[in-house]
Amino acid sequence: MGKLTDFITQDAPGKRVLLMGNQAIARGAIEAGVQVAASYPGTPASEILETLADAAQKLGFHAEWSTNEKVAFEVAAGAAITGVRAITSMKNAGLNWVMDMFMTLVYGGVRGGFVIAVADDPDAHYSSNEQDTRFAAFYGEIPCLEPSNAQEAKDMCKYAFELSEQLELPVFLRSVTRISHASGDVELGPIKAPERRPVFDKHWRMAWRWNVYGPPGPVEKHRWLHSKQAEIEQAVEKLPWNELKLVEGAELGIIASGIAASFAKDALRLLGVEDKVAFLKLAAPVPVAKQLTSKLLKSVKRVLVVEEGEPVIELQVKALAKDVAPGVELLGRFTGHVPRVGELNPDIAKQSIAKALGMELEKDEEREKIKEEIQKLVAPRSSTLCAGCPHLGTYWALKQALKRVGGKVPIVNGDIGCYEQGGYGIAGKRYEPSDSSESKAYPIQAPYETLDTNYIMGGGIGLMQGQHHAGYKDGALVAVAGDSTYFHACLPAIVNAVYNKAKGVFVVMDNHWTAMTGHQPDPCTGVTATGEEAAKLSIEGIAQAIGVEFVEVTDPYDLKATQQTIERAIQSGKFAIVVSRRVCTLQALRLKQYKPRAKQTRVNEEKCTGCMLCVSFGCPATTFDTERKKAGIDPILCVNCGMCKQVCPFGAIEEVKE
């Protein structure tokens, strides 16, 4: 591949390179001499550990994809307790998994620097919610740093280790999609060798330091955490990335942090008001630097808070202003100057600032009209599963099985992974909300309409059990999850199903990789994050060991066999696990391991009746000519998996002879 990441391991201080935010965070950890890095893949955070894993063997530190974020957090925390530097990284939702350990680890903290890097996803580009990590910094009473570009992502990450050691507490590094998945010029610093020797002292600077119940117990350790707060407040005042620009006579001041500070600066320049507005950039949104903020508050009549996510800074500024500048008018998300949901961009920042200044923005109505007209020409490009994706086969087989033996209104509980697209709906199709007092059936016209419920990793298999115990009788109960999710979040739920006698069919859509986040290995892949050979854990073996009575494995490229397996599972009346197994097509192609099952396929138009059944299979390589009412196959996208040939009841999809 290219050499974009070669310099990650280069000790070349002063060199200027292009780094993606996530790579910059990884580089910051390397410059800090990180010795243990652990994570679970999740967009937009995955490249942090990917980059560290690339560098780990060369530099001599440990990097791993853990089974889930909680384990990753504990792996990193365990290392930090022995005095070495450790980082754990995750996406927004991953943080929810670590809360238990996190909330208790802070009662005693760490010895080696411990950075918790979380990439939030405002606008939910790749996530099921827009949650804001900065609230967790309040919850755990630790500081949170927030970079506004790639350079700061690197520098703040490195500094976060030092701050963590100074405070003896973990430190949050909060990124967002537009930092993590944006790139910028970064000047590299020197690399610190990962050579600290781990040590253990049970009563280091506090009795029973690493055992929250050790006397004098949790309340005293909570008191210790509170005793750290003054030190934290001092530390955030002095962060070198804070910027305060007071402007004489300015009526408006802006307080911004992270990417929002960059957008605000762009917007000030677009509006031509850089020199008329006071500006404070806070490197730490939690806690806000009170002295710096007070200076700004006292210098202006109105303050606009521009931040990405929830009004975290705004709430703190409100509380502070009450004491230090009660007359100042506070503007932001609460006053509608900044939208309450979604992400910011330079245009929104511009509108917010203009509104706060009472400026009228010029509107080119003619251009807006032209744009509206042109917009009608822009065909959507809906997200789909890939051509030849094994999940297409599983969803088809599931749909057929449910039609035959699934009862009136089966429930299919979804999960998180590529297969979550089974609930993305069909392009442009909107449903009216229903208010039925009875179970109501809706046709599944494409795989993208399969999933009836979907929330979080491992959620579906638990929901299915609740539906069973509620006494749901109107149809079959099904849950689906991928291989990585199986290990991440489903095992306790399987134990629960067996122990508490739940019934239902759990389909494991095993494609051997954590595909959606960029094909990271998982416990059944046979390789570690750093490319070492590893054990291949058996999904069905684990299920059998737990005591699941019905466990069968099927190949989703064989539609009939997979359908029959799912039917048998439904009809067994047991808690049944069907492992639908075939390696991700995209990854198999990349690794040059893909073996086409069919010769090149094409549609015999004489046999094609235009029924569109093949189209409802959902493969992006299937085409349909609406005028001539004939199906077709895009030869560039088609990978000759042969599944559509099995779908056509008229034998119109043929393999090209010769």
| DSSP 8-state class, residue 491 | H
Helix locations, 420-515, DSSP H: 459-469, 483-485, 491-499
Q: Is 3 in the site for other proteins (CB under 8 A)?
A: yes
Residue 634 sits in the site that holds other proteins (CB under 8 A): yes
Identify which of residues 33 and 41 has a Cβ nearer to other proteins in the complex. Answer: 41
* Spatial distance between the Cα atoms of 555 and 390, rounded to a whole number of angstroms: 8
Nearer to other proteins, 260 or 548 (CB): 260
The residues near 431 (Cβ < 8 Å, ≥ 6 apart) are 442
Listed residue (341, 338, 305) closest to 320, CA to CA: 305
Q: Output the smallest distance, CB 41 to other proteins, in A.
A: 10
Q: Closer to other proteins at the Cβ: 634 or 655? A: 634
Residue 269 or 340: the one with the smaller Cβ distance to other proteins is 269
Q: Which of 58, 100, 125, 203 binds other proteins (CB under 8 A)?
A: 125
| Nearest approach, Cβ of residue 387 and other proteins (Å) | 8
Among 75, 259, 402, 444, indicate the residue that binds other proteins (CB under 8 A): 259
Is 456 a residue that touches other proteins (CB under 8 A)?
A: no
Exactly one of 206, 225, 246, 426 binds other proteins (CB under 8 A); that residue is 426
Which range binds other proteins by CB under 8 A, 93-101, 385-393, 452-460, 551-559?
A: 385-393
What backbone torsions phi and psi does residue 582 show, to the nearest 5 degrees? Answer: -165, 140
Q: Which of 166, 211, 234, 382 binds other proteins (CB under 8 A)?
A: 382
Q: Which of 166, 211, 234, 383 binds other proteins (CB under 8 A)?
A: 383
Rg (CA), the chain: 27
Decide if residue 394 touches other proteins (CB under 8 A): no
For residue 474, state whether it binds other proteins (rule: CB under 8 A): no
Note whether 575 and 547 are within 8 A (CB).
no
Residue 114 interacts with other proteins (CB under 8 A): yes or no = no
Q: Which is nearer to other proteins, 494 or 588 (CB)?
A: 588
Question: Looking at beta carbons only, is 324 or 583 nearer to other proteins?
Answer: 583
Where does this chain touch other proteins (CB under 8 A) — which range of 53-61, 453-461, 509-517, 541-549? 509-517
User: x/- binding map, residues 294-333, to other proteins, per CB under 8 A?
Assistant: ----------------------------------------
Kindly state the helix (H) or strand (E) to which residue 444 belongs, with its residue range: none
Q: How far apart are CA 45 and CA 116, in angstroms?
A: 12
Task: Specify the residue, 365 or 658, whose C-beta has the smaller distance to other proteins.
Answer: 365
Alpha-carbon separation of residue 399 from 410, 447, 618 (angstroms) = 10, 8, 12
The distance of closest approach from Cβ of residue 225 to other proteins in the complex, given in angstroms and rounded to an integer, is 36
Residue 428 lies near other proteins (rule: CB under 8 A): yes
Compute the distance between CA of residue 534 and CA of residue 523 in angstroms, rounded to an integer.
Answer: 8
Q: With respect to other proteins, which residue has the nearer C-beta, 171 or 268?
A: 268
Q: Contact 644/654 with Cβ under 8 angstroms?
A: no
| Least distance to other proteins, CB of residue 269, Å | 6
In the structure encoding, which two tokens stand for residue 522, read together? 């998982």
- Closest separation in Å from C-beta 643 to other proteins: 16
Cα angle at 241 between 235 and 244, to 5 degrees?
95
The β-bridge partners of 302 are: 252, 329
Shortest spacing between CB 613 and other proteins, in angstroms? 12
Q: Which tokens in the block code for residue 183?
A: 């790139």
β strands within 227-308, DSSP E? 243-245, 252-257, 278-282, 302-306
Residues in region 513-532 near other proteins by CB under 8 A:
515-519
Residue 167: CB minimum distance to other proteins, A = 30
How is residue 377 written in tokens?
Answer: 């020409």
- Convert 447-483 to b/e letters by CB count within 10 Å (16 or more is b): bbbbbbbbbbbbbbbbbbbebbeeebeebbbbbbbbb
Nearest 10 degrees: CA dihedral of 390, 391, 392, 397?
100
In angstroms, what is the minimal distance from the CB of 419 to other proteins? 11
Closest CB to other proteins among residues 3, 430: 3
Q: Is 203 in the site for other proteins (CB under 8 A)?
A: no
Neighbours of 544 (CB within 10 A): 13
First-residue to last-residue Cα distance in the chain: 36
CA–CA distance, 486 with 43 (Å, rounded to integer): 18
Are 151 and 187 in contact, with CB atoms under 8 Å apart?
yes
Contacts of 657 (CB under 8 A, 6+ apart): 599
Minimum distance of other proteins from residue 268's CB (angstroms): 9
Determine if 227 is a binding residue for other proteins (CB under 8 A): no
Please give the residue ranges that form the binding site for other proteins (CB under 8 A): 1-4, 16-18, 20, 43, 125-126, 148-149, 178, 181-185, 259, 262-263, 265-266, 269-270, 345-347, 350, 367, 370-371, 373-375, 377-387, 418, 426-428, 515-519, 586, 612, 615, 620, 622-626, 634, 637
